[in-house]
Structure 1
Amino acid sequence: MTRTAPLYQLKAEFFKTLGHPVRIRVLELLSLREHAVSELLAEVAVEPAHLSQQLAVLRRANLVVARREGSAVHYSLTDPRMAELLAVARGILSGVLAGQAELLADLQASAAPEAPPAA
C-alpha cells in the first residue's frame, strides 16, 4: 500500500516552490495577465537562463502553463487563485511591517535624549 505525504508536508513543498523572489515576481506578473517570456524578461530583469530555470520550477509544480505562438512562448497561471494567495500574503506582510514600524517608532522615542530642564 502506497502512502501519500501528509497534507502539511505537501503544503511545505508548495511554499518552498514559492520561496524565490524571481518566482514570486513572475507569479505576480502572471496574476495580472498572460505574458510572453520576452515581457517577463523585461519586467524581472534577470538573465534569460535564470528566468528559464525559474519558469521550469513553476511548470514542474503545475503553477504555470506555457503555450507557443509562433516563436514566442507565453505563460499563464494554471489557477487564478494564485493571485488571491499573493494578495493575502501582501496583506499579512503589510500588517507585520506596520507593527514593526510602530515598534521602531517606540524604540526611537524611548532612546531620544531628554530635554534639559527649563531655566
Structure 2
Amino acid sequence: MIQEIQQFKADFFKALAHPLRIRILEVLCEGDKTVNEIQSLLGSEGSAVSQQLAVLRNKNVVIGRKDGTSVIYSLTDPLIKDLLGVAKQIFDNHLINAISMLENIKKTSADEPSLKS
C-alpha cells in the first residue's frame, strides 16, 4: 500500500511538472473554464493549452465535461488549490531566506575593512 501511495504522489507531481500546467491549474482554481477562456486568460496558443490539459486529464488532475460544443474544465479535487498555495509559501520562504543571506553578506562586507595595497 505504501508503494502505491508513493507511486501516486510521483505521478501526481509529474503531472504538475510544467509551468503551463501550473498556470492552467491556477486559472482553474478561480473556477471552471473552457479551453478558449483558459487560452485567453493565459495568452497562450490553443494547441499548447489543449496538450497540457490532456496531460492533466490523463493524470486525473482536471476533468472536462461537455456543454454543447464546448468542454468545461475543472479541478478534480479542491485541495489542489491548497497545494498550489503551500508551494507558493515554500517559494516565499526560500526567497526570504535568500534575501536574508544576501543582506548578511552585504552587511559583513560593509563591516570588513577594505584591503588596500
Match of 1:42 among 40, 43, 48: 40
Partner of 1:103 in structure 2? 101
Q: TM-score, normalised by structure 2?
A: 0.85
Q: How does 1:42-81 map to 2 (within 5 A)?
A: 42-81=40-79
Q: Once superposed, what is the RMSD of the aligned Cα atoms?
A: 2.2
Counterparts of 2:3 and 2:44 in 1: how far apart (Å)?
34
Gaps in structure 2 of 5+ consecutive residues: none
Gaps in structure 1 of 5+ consecutive residues: none
Residue 28 (str. 1) matches residue 26 (str. 2) = yes
- 1:71 positional shift: 2.2
Counterparts of 1:115 and 1:45 in 2: how far apart (Å)?
52
Counterparts of 1:4 and 1:98 in 2: how far apart (Å)?
34
Deviations 1:34-74 (A, max 9, x none): 01111100122222111110000000011111122222221
Counterparts of 1:110 and 1:48 in 2: how far apart (Å)?
51
Counterparts of 2:41 and 2:105 in 1: how far apart (Å)?
38
Deviations 1:78-111 (A, max 9, x none): 1111111111111111111111111111122233
Partner of 2:9 in structure 1? 11
Amino acid at match of 1:88: V
Counterparts of 1:34 and 1:6 in 2: how far apart (Å)?
30
- 1:5 positional shift: 4.6
Aligned length: 114
Pair 1:104–1:60, CA change in 2 (3 A): same
Amino acid at match of 1:20: H
* Identical-residue share of aligned pairs (%): 40
Q: How does 1:80-95 map to 2 (within 5 A)?
A: 80-95=78-93
